[in-house]
């Protein structure tokens, strides 16, 4: 072998050696990479009672709720562990593992106690609407949320390489789950029919969202009318479909019955869709478009898609749990979920994504319905009680309008008026509590600052303490008797109390890292976030007080 041949041979051997070493190093990196799903999907169904998983089980198809139950893991006894049980608080608690006392979302609206100003949970006057000419629609951001979310923690853990996209027809249902660091949050503008965002996230809508808006899908859906998915006489609630004492009708219709001729209501199509099951379909359509156009789950870095399905809440408020409308809503949502999961199977790959489904709160039965069926129930006349309280306090202390509000079942005081009248806050609270405890439907009235020592059931005490935020909550918590709620004898259903109808929610997981099964052990809504962050092997949110449902992990 001459020197030239020797040198060439040596070069080839060296090159092969370096190449082999590089491949070995790459394999070593790959083998030591943290194992995570490509895509995490969170689905919050607004106003979904836990029992809807089973009430309509026989009518569900195989690919939606049944698939989650039969392939995934169900936490059968998951409860809201704070007051009030409303949308903003629920979304915040699901995604932070925390409670109003810490995360600061004390209601959909809450009162800034130092000033008396009413604050909408995601309002932000420093930002502007993107994607619509409706000025107020986009003046929203997560700045009122005081803690991180699991979506924030994923972004932090991957040095912001993970994408987080949030979608919901309600602004708060998108903004809060997306957290402070989301790449985008989109919500529905009922004035224009457009999906919008705010300058908190971006200055211009992505082309794919603009193109989606241009398709006017809301109009295409509503031109089909809303009729039952199956023959109406096969529905559980079919015999009470015309119960106007319990169900609210659509404006311009004679009764709350099917079919609903949405095709003839074109003057209000933009806002009508959220009050029909088509609102859920539209939301999941946008979610699929987000996966496609944002390439969610397309690489090894975990992305997060946060979805809130808001239409069941509007429908539940109008018709109540025992209605064909609600039954049909969940049968249709089941079909939409099956389509969505099938899409993820194809796009991301079955076994490459994890999905969890829960609710922000549930709903009580209509009080009239309960009364007519010989069950104790009733309405708490909030406005009348507030007027009576202010008259009593003015007579006793010469202080006008001492009570600002009874919203969220909490008494918010006018501290400036009380101070100006030289009254004692302690004396005012004492009179209010004594008065409230004599009112029909009231089980307890609790000074939230003294809740730890009040003689009430420990479960109630914990929820009062968890729900009280000194800066944003009323100082006296009103706890009503079971099946009582604030109202004037109307139709439909509501929520906000600690009744299990309001506070027992589904929590089902499916996909990567999740075994098949269920647990009947008691868990709280605060346990959802640490379960997901534990699965992703990232830090829990910085206000978390929950614990992971470790039984769900493979």
The domain spanning residue 508 has which CATH number? 3.40.720.10
Confirm whether 425 is domain-assigned. yes
Confirm whether 215 is domain-assigned. yes
Q: Which of 346, 356, 333, 353 has its CA nearest to residue 64?
A: 333
Helix axes 382-397, 425-436, angle to 10 degrees: 140
Residues 391 and 320 both lie in one domain: no
Residues 71 and 106 both lie in one domain: yes
Q: Which of 282, 298, 270 has its CA nearest to residue 339?
A: 282
Q: Distance (Å, rounded) from C-alpha 480 to C-alpha 463?
A: 13
Contact 487, 497 (CB under 8 A): no
Cβ atoms < 10 Å from Cβ of 240: 15
Confirm whether 539 is domain-assigned. yes
87 assigned to active site: yes
Confirm whether 166 is domain-assigned. yes
Residues 361 and 404 both lie in one domain: no
Residues 340 and 401 both lie in one domain: no
Task: Give me the pLDDT at residue 244, please.
Answer: 80
Q: Which residue among the candidates 87, 93, 96, 276 is catalytic per the annotation?
A: 87
Residues 546 and 449 both lie in one domain: no
Task: Give me the pLDDT at residue 355, please.
Answer: 98
Per-residue pLDDT of the chain (554 residues; tens, 9 = 90+): 455 454 445 444 454 454 545 544 444 444 467 899 999 999 999 999 999 999 999 999 999 999 999 999 999 999 999 999 999 999 999 999 999 999 999 999 999 999 999 999 999 999 999 999 999 999 999 999 999 999 999 999 999 999 999 999 999 999 999 999 999 999 999 999 999 999 999 999 999 999 999 999 999 999 999 999 999 989 987 555 557 889 999 999 988 999 999 999 999 999 999 999 999 999 999 999 999 999 999 999 999 999 999 999 999 999 999 999 999 999 999 999 999 999 999 999 999 999 999 999 999 999 999 999 999 999 999 999 999 999 999 999 999 999 999 999 999 999 999 999 999 999 999 999 999 999 999 999 999 999 999 999 999 999 999 999 999 999 999 999 999 999 988 899 999 999 999 999 999 999 999 999 999 999 999 999 999 999 999 999 999 999 999 999 99
**What does DSSP assign to residue 239?**
G
Q: Distance (Å, rounded) from C-alpha 225 to C-alpha 263?
A: 5
Task: Give me the pLDDT at residue 238, please.
Answer: 55
Confirm whether 186 is domain-assigned. yes
The domain spanning residue 462 has which CATH number? 3.30.1360.150
Distances (CA, A) of 209 to 220, 233, 274: 17, 40, 19
Residues 82 and 231 both lie in one domain: yes
Task: Give me the pLDDT at residue 12, please.
Answer: 43
Task: Give me the pLDDT at residue 33, please.
Answer: 78
Tell me which residue range forms the domain holding 469.
Answer: 378-486
Residues 115 and 242 both lie in one domain: yes
Residues 398 and 313 both lie in one domain: no
**What does DSSP assign to residue 448?**
G
Q: Distance (Å, rounded) from C-alpha 101 to C-alpha 90?
A: 13
Q: Which two tokens stand for residue 113?
A: 């106690």
* Boundary (domain end) residue, out of 457, 486, 515: 486
Give the number of domains in the chain. 2
Beta bridge partners of 44: 308, 358
């Amino acid at each position: 072998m001459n020197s030239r041949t020797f040198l060439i041979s040596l070069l080839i051997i060296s090159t092969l050696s370096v190449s082999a070493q590089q491949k070995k190093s790459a394999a070593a990196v790959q083998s030591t990479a943290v194992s995570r799903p490509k895509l995490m999907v969170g689905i919050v169904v607004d106003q979904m009672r836990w029992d809807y998983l089973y009430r309509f089980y026989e009518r569900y198809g195989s690919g939606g709720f049944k698939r989650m139950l039969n392939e995934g893991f169900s936490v059968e006894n998951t409860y809201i562990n704070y007051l009030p049980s409303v949308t903003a608080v629920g979304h915040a608690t699901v995604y932070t593992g925390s409670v109003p006392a810490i995360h600061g979302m004390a209601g959909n609206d809450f009162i800034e106690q130092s000033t008396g100003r009413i604050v909408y949970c995601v309002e932000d006057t420093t930002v502007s609407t993107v994607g619509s000419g409706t000025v107020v629609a986009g003046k929203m951001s997560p700045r009122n949320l005081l803690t991180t979310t699991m979506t924030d923690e994923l972004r932090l853990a991957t040095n912001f390489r993970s994408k987080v996209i949030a979608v919901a027809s309600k602004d708060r249902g998108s903004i809060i789950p997306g957290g402070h660091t989301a790449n985008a949050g989109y919500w529905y503008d009922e004035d224009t029919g457009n999906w919008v965002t705010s300058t908190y996230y971006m200055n211009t809508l992505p082309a794919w969202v603009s193109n989606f808006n241009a398709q006017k899908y809301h109009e295409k859906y509503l031109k089909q009318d809303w009729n039952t998915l199956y023959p109406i006489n096969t529905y559980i609630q079919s015999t009470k479909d015309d119960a106007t004492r319990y169900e609210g009708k659509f404006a311009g219709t004679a009764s709350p019955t099917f079919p609903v001729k949405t095709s003839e209501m074109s003057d209000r199509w933009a806002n009508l869709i959220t009050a029909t099951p088509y609102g859920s379909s539209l939301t999941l359509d946008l979610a699929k478009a987000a996966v496609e156009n944002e390439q969610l789950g397309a690489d090894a870095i975990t992305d997060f898609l946060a979805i809130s399905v808001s239409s069941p809440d509007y429908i539940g408020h109008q018709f109540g749990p025992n209605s064909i409308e609600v039954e049909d809503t969940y049968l249709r949502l089941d079909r939409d979920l099956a389509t969505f999961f099938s899409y993820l199977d194809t796009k991301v790959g079955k076994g490459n994504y994890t999905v969890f489904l829960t609710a922000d709160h549930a709903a009580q039965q209509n009080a009239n319905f309960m009364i007519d069926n010989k069950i104790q129930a009733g309405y708490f006349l909030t406005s009348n009680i507030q007027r009576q309280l202010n008259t009593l306090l003015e007579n006793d202390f010469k202080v006008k309008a001492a009570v600002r509000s009874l919203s969220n079942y909490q008494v918010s005081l006018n501290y400036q008026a009380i101070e100006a009248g030289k009254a004692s806050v302690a004396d005012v609270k004492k009179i209010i509590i004594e008065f409230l405890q004599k009112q029909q439907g009231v089980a307890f009235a609790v000074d939230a600052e003294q809740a730890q020592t009040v003689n009430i059931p420990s479960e109630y005490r914990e929820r009062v303490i968890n729900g009280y935020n000194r800066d944003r909550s009323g100082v006296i918590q009103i706890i009503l008797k079971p099946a009582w709620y604030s109202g004037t004898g109307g139709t439909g259903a509501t929520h906000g109390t600690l009744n299990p109808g309001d506070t027992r929610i589904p929590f089902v997981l499916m996909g990567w890292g999740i075994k098949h099964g269920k647990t009947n052990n008691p868990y709280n809504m605060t346990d959802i976030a640490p379960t997901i962050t534990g699965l992703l092997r990232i830090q829990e949110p910085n206000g978390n007080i929950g614990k992971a449902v470790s039984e769900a992990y493979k």
